[in-house]
Amino acid sequence: MTSNLEAQLLALQQEGEQAIAAADTLEGLEELRVSYLGKKGQLGALLRSMGQMSAEERPKIGAIANTVKESLQTSLDKQRAALEAAKIQAQLEAETLDVTMPGIFRPQGRIHPLNGIIDQAFDIFVGMGYTVAQGPEMETDYYNFEALNTPPDHPARDMQDTFYLPDGNLLRTHTSSVQIRYMEKEEPPIRVVAPGRVYRRDNVDATHSAVFHQIELLAIDEGLTFTDLKGTIKMFLQAMFGDLPIRFRASYFPFTEPSAEVDLQWNGRWLEVMGCGMVDPNVMKSVGYDPEIYTGFAAGFGVERFAMVLHQIDDIRRLYASDLRFLRQF
């Protein structure tokens, strides 16, 4: 009886170790562990028959059973470690990157030259403490003209051929309308730039477009003077164009007094680049600001004009043509 059980135990060990060594997946190995050492496993089944054994046989068989159990457990551990290592190795091999493979060409977008100018201007003005505002392209007569000290019979209205809509509204002719909208909402001190599309009934040619872009500049505070205006414009233009000669030429705009146009010496020629001036007291009054307390300055310039000068573009229409041969150069 004893030797029979002992032989069975040893046979189980031998058979188990062979099966374990042959296991080629972790799942298969786990099945073997359950089959041999599990609660309802083969080793347990053999040991349950120990109940019929005599008291002196029992410790001997018990010791053999322990050796068998430990031996099987050691084999299981060893095989598990080997299978795990093989699994990682296989994974490493399968996921190897071939860094010598040719890459996939992905075309890269670019900043449109007009957006480039707008971004550059923002950077410069934000650096001087300005914020950015926007207003609608479809405007009322009030914001585009009236509140900017340009009543219906004012001759300055002829300077800007306006697109009128059937309902009496219009397409804004300049970004100066944003000055009024911004001042109505905010209180001084104000430092703001407003970019946007503007519309004029111009015939399209190399230097004119019926739709173009402007950037408006407005500063309102106590004690702002023409010197502040000149300093700000000068800093801006030098940051955009480099250290070039600049001159302020007296001019006229209904919404500024005094008004000036700014010229820049570019390739030996004086180029007109922007309009500006001290905000007219009537404009202040139209938004409820007291012109005895506040003064301010404003300026406006055309984005296309800046782009054409800076990038030596000879025809404004190139900026709208979406021709990649042109756009890839920026």
Using CB under 6 A, list all residues that contact ligand DAH: 174, 176, 216, 253, 256, 275-277, 298-300
Q: How far is the CB of 118 from ligand DAH (least distance, A)?
A: 16
Q: How far is the CB of 177 from ligand DAH (least distance, A)?
A: 9
Alpha helices in the chain (DSSP H): 2-22, 26-37, 42-48, 57-94, 113-127, 141-144, 176-185, 226-241, 281-286, 303-311, 324-327
Helix, strand, or coil (residue 265): strand
> Based on CB atoms, which residue is closest to ligand DAH, 69 or 174?
174
Q: Decide: 189 and 157 in contact? Cβ < 8 Å.
A: no
Cis peptide before 166 (omega within 30 of 0): no
* DSSP string across 110-138: ---HHHHHHHHHHHHHHHTT-EE----SE
> Based on CB atoms, which residue is closest to ligand DAH, 68 or 273?
273
> Based on CB atoms, which residue is closest to ligand DAH, 8 or 131?
131
Backbone angles phi, psi at 60, to 5 degrees: -65, -50
Q: How far is the CB of 204 from ligand DAH (least distance, A)?
A: 18
> Based on CB atoms, which residue is closest to ligand DAH, 113 or 296?
296
Q: How far is the CB of 214 from ligand DAH (least distance, A)?
A: 6
> Based on CB atoms, which residue is closest to ligand DAH, 65 or 279?
279
What's the CA gap between 258 and 171, in Å, rounded? 27
Q: How far is the CB of 296 from ligand DAH (least distance, A)?
A: 10
